[in-house]
Structure 1
Amino acid sequence: AEISHRFEGHCLLQNIREESNKHGLEKLQEKFLSLILKADVKVGNEIEGRSIIERRLRNKSVLVVLDDVDDHKQLEALAGSHAWFGKGSRIIITTRDEHLLTRHADMIYEVSLLSHDEAMELFNKHAYRKDKPIEDYEMLSNDVVSYASGLPLALEILGSFLYDKNKDEWKSALAKLKCIPNVKVTERLKISYDGLEPDHQKIFLDIACFWRRQHMDEAMMVLDACNLHPCIGVKVLIQKSLIKVSDDVFGDKIVDMHDLVEEMAHYIVRGAHPNHPEKHSRIWKEEDIAYLCDMGADAVPMETEVEALCSYDVPDLSDVVANMKKLRWIRFDQYQTSSFPSNFQPTELCCLELHKSQQKELWHGYKLLPNLKILDLRRSSKLITTPNFDGLPCLKRL
């Protein structure tokens, strides 16, 4: 509103991803033209819509905001070329996918997370409909703002949810957030995940569960061994703002993500069975490891969904792990147990890391693991014998 008067026409086209899926590109073109021209415009088909936009707007200076674009076809239908708009026009595109902008945008800006003061102001407007919190609620407001970590989406949703709640209900909601994420926040963040290819989804979940704030080189090595093609996959995740890669003080690459994005990933992994880790695709929490040990091998179903398992200072899990036939990556540190049993036969296993293992041998005799590429036995000082390498035809790193 502050700058729109400088242009001959202006338009804020919201929720393009959702509107495009519901009503198609032609309806979006009609809405776009009608808002700018302040007239009822009908479009026969998408090609005609492009032609009308170029013909009617090429001599007009316009201010346009295209919100939540998720497909290059949307940009081609609404703003296919600079030549469609008059001199001095400004087309602003918001998207979760930086890659969409590389062919269309002159400049790309990354939206920063809100500072504490900005976050508090936004939250207050939704929670109290005013700039400052009610005096008794100031500490609780700080707790919510801290949880949201500067993410506007979370602040708006949580503020609106808490708007008509009393102090006890606020405390109850905050206590719940520490155990169970807000579903509305999670589902909105999950939109970016849902748009990923299956392999990229696996990479994202692996990073969120095992590799956050860890060295990128080691993560890439394991992900590559698992045939997930991480070089392109990680690039996609960065472009979709799901992860960030930065240098630490030593110049090493470290992978990280927002707290709520990590929480969303864990929500996906737990799925419909939050209290049954044997049904999760990834296991990394010590309490879940302990749960599996308490269950014992007989209680763990033969067809588990577990793909990756990581634990430090682990108890005897060998019999339990033997039932996990879909495992592609195992990492155990200080493995305090005997050899893996004879029925340990994870044919999809690509990476086996046993750091500081107390084993004298990994398993008895010959064992065929046709996909194992990495066998990491560093600092396993009690190891007396190596396995029969004839059963590891794809081994690349020892």
Structure 2
Amino acid sequence: MIARYTGGLPLALTVIGSHLRGRSVQEWIEDIEKLRRNPHDDIQRILEISYDALDGDTKNIFLDIACFFVGHEKKGTTMILEACGFHVESGIRSLIERCLLTIDGDIGFKKVEMHDLVRDMGREIVRKESPRNPGKQSRLVDPNVVFDVLQGNKGTKAIEGMIVNSNMLKNVPLSMEVFTRMVNLRILILDGLLLRGSFKYLSNELRLLRLGNCCLSHIQLDFHFAKLVELDVSNSNIEEFQPNMQNFVCLRMLNLNYCEQLKSTPDFTGAQSLQEISFFHCSNLANVHPSIGNLERLVGLNLSRCKKLKARSEGNTVQILLQVREYSVHWYIPKLLGHTPINIFNSCFYGNEEFDGVGVRVRSITTGAWIVKEPQKYIKFKKF
């Protein structure tokens, strides 16, 4: 149990071992549980030696990762932290050099990882910012603390990030008005909640807003987030998503995966920073707004499993982009993008399923090959 908690870290094992020497098995169990809740001061002091040597910018990067991004993709995490004004690449390098962070995975998908003890140390640092008044802590992730702050309406301008899920609120609907005083909120992750009210109560400082698995049928989707770089509404019951995209001048990633009641994409006019858009498995999506062709920075579009998609072409403009198995199909949009190719995500098709889009049909056959029937002149195949 102790080795599992310390991850075999020799220094941590030494500190905890000296603390537990001469105690009974029951005392060991109780002390380990206490360590999980409040890491031992000796361990804290040892681990904080590396933390204390960091500059203020890198300390913020460390605390954000410890609270919100352990196990997350490095690319997206870097994008969000850079949007917060941090020098991320040099900061991550410093954290790695001090054994406070690791980067795992291959070139295609790198993850930000942190030892459990180091993560707990970071969260303990945040807790000590204001142990008696958690509403004045900078980052809130502990379920009991989050519940206390939201239920008591104790939020303050000190809060910069928060995670809230259905277990924390015990399935109680969440009024967005509770965020009114959190004017410096940069990171907000809501999961599985029934939301009520209006998004107008959220901070204009938001860089990341995730609303995964949330019930949005009782809330006004009046988004006005000029600094937001990632918006994730995946797995929600949203039926209509038509915000004024001119209010999203910094938005780079838009994720509406598994929004199975969504029928149309928004008008993308004004969202010129968008780089990646995903509507994966939006089974009722039937219309793609032609303004998507005007997004000059768009490098990724995922429309896989959108079985009802009937997007239309205008002149020589085509809006459907897909990648299938061993061939990367780059569909050019010559009229609007000047023959600039778009890189695209994987589409998975099985058996004899067909994908009907803008003048193109791709069907799997027994050999596993793929057929592009029409029109051929805008299709370019590239083996990968």
Partner of 2:240: 384
Q: Does 1:178 align with 2:41?
A: no
2:33, 2:248 → 1: CA distance? 49
2 CA distance for matches of 1:224 and 1:277?
Answer: 27
CA contact (8 A) 2:67 2:139 kept: yes
Q: Which residue of structure 2 lines up, in the alignment, with residue 309 of structure 1? A: 162
* Deviation by residue 1:78-105 (Cα, 9 ceiling, x = unmatched): xxxxxxxxxxxxxxxxxxxxxxxxxxxx
Correspondence for 1:338: 196
Task: Decide whether aligned partners of structure 1 residues 255 and 316 sit closer, same or farther in structure 2, where only a CA change above 3 A counts.
Answer: same
Residue 244 of structure 1 aligns with which residue? 102
* Cα RMSD for the two superposed structures: 3.0
| CA deviations over 1:123-175 (Å, ceiling 9, x no partner) | xxxxxxxxxxxxxxxxxxxx433333222222222233334556665454334
Distance 1:261 1:363, change over 3 A: same
Please say if residues 225 and 374 of structure 1, whose CA atoms lie closer than 8 Å, have aligned partners that are also in contact. no
Q: Please, which of 169, 180, 185 is the counterpart of residue 322 of structure 1?
A: 180
Larger RCO (alpha carbons 8 Å, 6+ apart): 1
Which of 257, 271, 289 is the matching residue for 2:114?
257
Do residues 214 (structure 1) and 72 (structure 2) align? Answer: yes
Q: How does 1:15-94 map to 2 (within 5 A)?
A: none
Instruction: Give the paired residue count.
Output: 249
Distance of 2:146 and 2:165 partners within structure 1? 10
> Aligned runs of 1:149-168 on 2, under 5 Å?
149-163=7-21, 165=23
Check whether the contact 1:220–1:230 (CA below 8 A) recurs between aligned residues.
Answer: yes
CA contact (8 A) 2:179 2:202 kept: no
Segments of 4+ moved more than 6 angstroms: none
2:184, 2:104 → 1: CA distance? 32
Assess if the C-alpha contact under 8 Å between 2:177 and 2:197 holds in 1.
Answer: no
Distance 1:162 1:359, change over 3 A: closer
* Structure 1: gaps of 5 or more residues: 1-142
Paired with 1:381 and 1:341, the residues of 2 have a C-alpha distance of: 16
Unaligned 5+ residue runs, structure 2? 255-384
Read off the aligned partner of 1:311 and give its amino acid letter. V
Residue 88 of structure 1 aligns with which residue? none
Query: Matched residues in 1 for 2:30 and 2:10: separation?
Result: 22
Alpha-carbon distance between aligned partners in 2 of 1:378 and 1:175, rounded to the nearest angstrom: 35
Provide the residue aligned with 1:277 in structure 2. 134
Question: Which residue number in structure 2 is paired with residue 114 of structure 1?
Answer: none
Q: Find the aligned partners of 2:27 and 2:235 in 1 and give their Cα distance.
A: 52
Question: Is the alpha carbon distance of 1:328 and 1:272 closer, same or farther for their aligned partners in structure 2, counting shifts above 3 Å?
Answer: closer
Instruction: Tell me: CA distance 1:362–1:227, structure 2 relative to 1, closer, same or farther (3 Å).
Output: farther
Closer, same or farther: CA 211–374 of 1 in aligned 2, 3 Å: closer
- 8 Å contact 2:176–2:202 — kept in the other structure? no
The match for 2:204 among 317, 340, 347 is 347
CA contact (8 A) 2:195 2:219 kept: no
Structure 2 match to 1:203: 61
Flag the structure with higher strand content.
Answer: 2
User: Following TM superposition, by how much is the alpha carbon of 1:230 offset from its aligned partner in structure 2, in angstroms?
Assistant: 2.1
- Secondary structure of the residue aligned to 2:242 is coil
- Correspondence 1:375 to 2:231: yes
1 CA distance for matches of 2:67 and 2:127? Answer: 11
Question: Cα deviation per residue 1:276-321 (whole Å; 9 max; x = unaligned)?
Answer: 43222112233333223321x3xx15x3421111233464051222
**Any conservation in 2 of the 1:226–1:329 contact (CA below 8 Å)?**
no
Hey, what's the Cα distance between the residues in 1 that align with 2:27 and 2:143?
A: 31
Query: Is the contact between residue 138 and residue 161 of structure 2 (CA under 8 Å) also seen in structure 1?
Result: yes
Q: How far apart, in 1, do the equivalents of 2:140 and 2:175 lie?
A: 13
Shift in Å at residue 258 of structure 1?
1.5
Percent of counterpart pairs with the same letter? 31
TM-score by length of 1: 0.55
CA distance in 1, matches of 2:128, 2:159: 13
Q: 1:205 to 1:233 in 2, by over 3 A?
A: same
- TM-score of the superposed pair, with normalisation by structure 2: 0.56
Larger Rg, first or second structure (1 or 2): 1
In structure 2, how many angstroms separate the alpha carbons of the residues matched to 1:154 and 1:246?
Answer: 22
Residues 319 and 285 of structure 1, relative CA distance in 2, 3 Å threshold: same
Shift of 1:192: 1.1
| Preserved CA contact (<8 Å) 1:369 1:392 | yes
**Which structure's residues are more often helix, by fraction?**
1
| 1:358–1:383 CA contact under 8 A, matched in 2 | no
Give SS of 1:338's match: strand
2:227 & 2:81 partners in 1: Cα distance? 13
Q: Distance in 2 between matches of 1:380 and 1:173?
A: 41
In structure 2, relative to structure 1, the CA distance for the partners of 1:159 and 1:325 (3 Å cut) is same
| Local SS of the residue matching 1:178 | helix
Structure 1 328/165 Cα, relative in aligned 2: closer, same or farther at 3 Å? same
Task: Give the superposition deviation at 1:386.
Answer: 3.3
